[in-house]
Amino acid sequence: MKLRNKFFQQRTDRHPPQIHPLLRPQWPFDPGKLPFFYGWAILAACTIGIIMSIPGQTMGVSVFTDYLIEATGVSRLQLSNAYLIGTVTSGLLLPFGGVFLDRFGTRLSVVLASVWLGLTLGYMSVCDRIAVSLSQTWNLPTSNYIAFGLLVLGFTSLRFSGQGMLTMSSRNTLGKWFDKRRGLASGIAGVFISFGFASTPSIVNTWIEATTWRWTWVSMGLMVGLGMSSLGWLLYRDNPEECGLQMDGKFNPSAPPPSQASVDTRRDFTRSEALRTPAFWAVTLALSCQALAITGITFHIVDLGAEVGLTKAEAVALFIPMALVSTIMGSLMGLAADRIRLQFLFMGMMTALGIGIASMANLDIVALRGFAIAGLGSSGGCFGTLSAVALPRFFGRTHLGAISGVQMMSIVFASAIGPSWMALFKNFAGSYQLGLYCFCIFPPLILLLNWMAPNPQARR
């Protein structure tokens, strides 16, 4: 612990000697000398960063599933299992990514994650051709097994860089720049993030139809790899103290580094301490449950819609009104998070999720489609804000990367299980309905857990 604190003190000096000059907080401009609080620029940058992670999220992958099945020759269940293995593997790496984030800061993490994600998207656009080439070189009768392995590799890289590091770095950065206004800032970001995520399937589907699925992935890779990495280097800063500022906009040009004078009087939990609290698991399981259900539904949305007679365009279009609901809920949640106990907000999120899943299981009933849209859209709007607010409020900022790495691992694991769970029920029961009904078991249990979990900051 002493060694770690010594390292943290060195890294948070305003001009630490071990930091490359291009990564110093005052380069290429000094945020402390701007005529406005730089946290609002951080808010904009982090919002863009999370939106740019969409190609590595299930929302961004789901539209490509049928194209991958056709191009590689794998079955739907095989593709889902490749996604499962790749996502679980990436989840196992995320705790190490969280430690990297604490050690080297969000600026470098965002740049590396963006470049990594961009390269991965380029790889995914040609992975089927690589499989065919390798099978011909090795004189194999089929390329299916090679394609499966290459898909596992691609999904591992895609999920770790996109859903994992880029998302985690952006959320943690936002949480470090705001305290009393953290809910407001997260709510503003949540408006754009919720709309971006919910509208992605429809936008990407149009993009593919206008070009090809391969070029869509390549162009996304260029946007993220070049655009987001440049934006991350230009705008991201790890925390306000290294810029001579304080959270929420209090200006203090002579502020000492946080190791010498605390700017946040709440207790900072270590990762092991946080993992021993019921609140960590109540929050983490709530977010993981959301990921479990949404990824399962989103990954198979085209086939799920086909079960009830919806065309591909009609199935994907369900996300448009869902995006509107998510946007409205995200803005309301931002205001509520600064005024209402988080456990009540998580309980509301679980209630909306349960209604949405149960209604999605009866998508053939037109009246219930509205409840599915409202429930899933509302819970999605809660997710973006609460995932950014909960950990820094409950456990402080010093070890936020290490703590969020474990939480993100759990969320990634859940998102890995969702698509395979749905495909398994489809394969053996002939329908997704039973799988969706099984999903409905989790929200009430997690709601009860959140009711019972106390705020760890109150137990001092």
What is the percent of the chain with per-residue pLDDT over 90, rounded to a whole number? 47
CA dist 288 to 83, 330, 368, Å? 17, 18, 25
- Residues 400-411: tens digit of each pLDDT: 888 998 998 898
Percent of the chain with pLDDT over 70: 92
| pLDDT band at residue 162 using 50, 70 and 90 as cut-offs | very high
Selection from 296, 298, 290 nearest residue 316 by Cα: 298
**Given pLDDT bands bounded at 50, 70 and 90, which one contains residue 262?**
very low
Q: What is the mean pLDDT of residues 124-150?
A: 90
Q: What is the pLDDT of residue 120?
A: 97
At 459, the pLDDT band (50, 70, 90 cuts) reads low
Distance CA(430)–CA(424), nearest Å, equals 9
Q: What is the radius of gyration, based on Cα positions, of the chain?
A: 22
What pLDDT, on a 0 to 100 scale, did the predictor assign at position 255?
Answer: 45
CB 345, CB 337: distance < 8 Å: yes
* Separation between Cα atoms, residue 198 and residue 60, nearest integer Å: 10
Spatial separation of the C-alpha atoms in residues 262 and 317, rounded to whole Å: 49
pLDDT in tens, 270-281: 999 999 999 999
Torsion 176-181-182-184 (CA) sign: negative
Stretch among 113-117, 192-196, 391-395 having the lowest mean pLDDT: 192-196
pLDDT of residue 259: 39
- Scanning 126-181, the segments in alpha helix (DSSP H) are 127-137, 144-158, 167-177
Tell me the pLDDT of the chain averaged across its residues: 86
Tokens describing residue 24: 């110093």
The arithmetic mean of pLDDT across residues 43-60, rounded, is 92
Query: How buried is 408 (Cβ within 10 angstroms: 0-12 exposed, 13-18 middle, 19+ buried)?
Result: buried
Total residues belonging to the chain = 460
Mean pLDDT across the stretch 189-194?
A: 82
What gap in Å lies between CA 391 and CA 389, rounded to an integer? Answer: 6
Write down the pLDDT at residue 18. 62
Are 144 and 75 spatial neighbours (Cβ–Cβ below 8 Å)? no
Of the candidate ranges 183-197, 230-244, 334-348, the one whose mean pLDDT is the lowest: 183-197
End-to-end CA distance of the chain: 20
Residue 9 reports pLDDT greater than 50: no
Residue with the larger pLDDT of the pair 338 and 34: 34
Among 63-77, 146-160, 190-204, the range with the most confident prediction by mean pLDDT is: 146-160
* Rounded Cα distance, 382 and 376, in Å: 10
Average pLDDT in the 318-341 region?
86
Does 28 sit behind a cis peptide bond, omega within 30 degrees of 0 on the bond before it?
A: yes
Return the structure tokens found at 369. Answer: 């489609």
Res 460: pLDDT: 53
Among 16-20, 270-274, 337-341, whose mean pLDDT is lowest? 16-20
pLDDT for the residue numbered 140: 83
pTM over 0.85: no
Q: Residues 307-328: what's their mean pLDDT?
A: 85
| DSSP helix/strand/coil, 245 | strand
Residue for token pair 């890995």: 416
From the list 251, 182, 221, the residue with the least C-alpha distance to 33 is 251
Top-confidence residue, 218 or 4? 218
Contact 382, 345 (CB under 8 A): yes
Closest CA relative to residue 60, chosen from 299, 260, 247: 299
Q: Does residue 258 register a pLDDT over 60?
A: no
Q: Report DSSP state, residue 163.
A: I
- At 10 the pLDDT is 39
Q: What is the pLDDT of residue 4?
A: 40
Whether the Cβ atoms of residue 39 and residue 149 lie closer than 8 Å to each other: no
Domains assigned to the chain? 30-256+269-458 (1.20.1250.20)
The predicted model gives 79-89 an average pLDDT of 89
Q: Which residue has the tokens 């002939």?
A: 430
pLDDT at 254 > cutoff 60? no
Residue 59's pLDDT is: 79
